[in-house]
Amino acid sequence: MADKKKKNLPPQAQKYQDFQEKREVKRPLLKNCIKAFLVGGFICFIGQLISTFYIYFFDFTEQTAGNPTTATLIFLTMLLTGFGVYDRIGQFAGAGSAVPVTGFGNAVISAAIEHRTEGFVLGVGGNMFKLAGTVILFGVFSAFIVALIKTILITWGGF
Amino acid sequence: MIFFWAFVIGGLICVIGQIMFDVFKLTPGHTLSILVVVGAILDGFGLYEPLIDFAGAGVTVPITSFGNSLVHGAMQEAEMHGLIGVITGMFEVTSSGISAAIIFGMIGALIFKPKG
């Protein structure tokens, strides 16, 4: 992919690209993966604690306990984001804090807090889903396609 | 035991995300979108529910479960109302995540001031 892009560039830009590739700092993959594993695993572990709490005290099942857990985690994310802690966790953990649903919550909440100076309607309202919108869009669209195919198969395919 | 598997499986999904960041140089937006689509497809094949039984929050907390619950809601309604249910039921199961994000986002914007 990179080679194709390069061919269309003027020679100086090609030189620059080569130079840049050489100078680019190698990302410490293994270290990052371990960090992501530990932090991501820890967030899921906390999620499991919260789920267990809901299962024992509020009559949820293993399958349905995910919903209140999500909401609780997003509430905790609001506090962490508001006090500026989540950013620091994110710098340390990379995907470990972005992939769990707390990352989704952080994307929404940090955008909301950041843009409040522009007013509540155009600032907060308009920018809230700036980052998280893509997750909703592709989630909903792919779910639509999957569910559509499955329904058609069940209805007319006799599966 | 489920606590252990929640930690391991949840951690592994995050490692997959980290590999997509570092090896394939994808932005967080691309990575999360791909993971959501993967979750939706996994549920399409009926593979997500056994995972939840196995790892609990390890698979309900990562963003892949968002795709899973979207398909789930759509399928639940589709069983009752046919094709129309696919659209009407889409957010049936997953509403808690989005509502929580919107509500707490608004509360956060009311309480906290931007830093820096």
> Which is more confident, A61 or A26?
A61
Here the ipTM equals 0.87
Query: Confidence class of residue A1 from pLDDT cuts 50, 70 and 90?
Result: very low
Question: What is the model's pLDDT at position B28?
Answer: 83
Q: What are phi and psi of B26, to 5 degrees?
A: -90, 150
Question: What is the model's pLDDT at position A3?
Answer: 57
- The answer to whether B93 and B76 are in contact (CB under 8 A) is yes
Model confidence pLDDT, tens digit, residues A83-103: 888 888 888 888 888 888 888
Please, what are the averages of pLDDT over each run of 10 residues along chain B (116 residues)?
86 88 83 90 88 85 88 86 83 85 88 74
**What is each CA distance from B75 to A63, B33, B69, in whole angstroms?**
15, 21, 10
Mean pLDDT of A62-75: 84
Q: How many CA atoms lie within 13 A of B22 on its CB side?
A: 22
Model confidence pLDDT, tens digit, residues A94-143: 888 888 888 888 888 888 888 888 888 888 888 888 888 888 899 899 98
Name the strand (E) or helix (H) holding B5. Answer: helix B2-22
Q: Do B41 and A114 touch (CB under 8 A)?
A: no
pTM for the predicted model, two decimal places = 0.84
pLDDT over threshold 80, residue A26:
no
Query: Confidence class of residue A159 from pLDDT cuts 50, 70 and 90?
Result: low
User: Which residues 16-75 of chain A have a CB within 8 Å of chain B?
Assistant: 27, 29, 32-33, 35-45, 47-51, 62-63, 65-71, 73-75
Q: Where are the domains of chain A?
A: 36-128, 132-159
CB burial of B75-94 (b: ≥16 within 10 Å; e: otherwise) equals bebbeeeeeebbbebbbbbb
Mean pLDDT of A27-46: 86
Q: Do A144 and B90 touch (CB under 8 A)?
A: yes
Rounded CA gap, B46 and B38, in Å?
12
Burial category of A31 from C-beta neighbours within 10 Å (exposed 0-12, middle 13-18, buried 19 and up): exposed
Mean pLDDT of chain A: 84
Question: What is the model's pLDDT at position A5?
Answer: 62
Kindly state whether B85 is in contact with chain A, defined as any CB-CB distance less than 8 angstroms.
yes
Residue A3 carries which DSSP code? H
pLDDT over threshold 70, residue A67:
yes
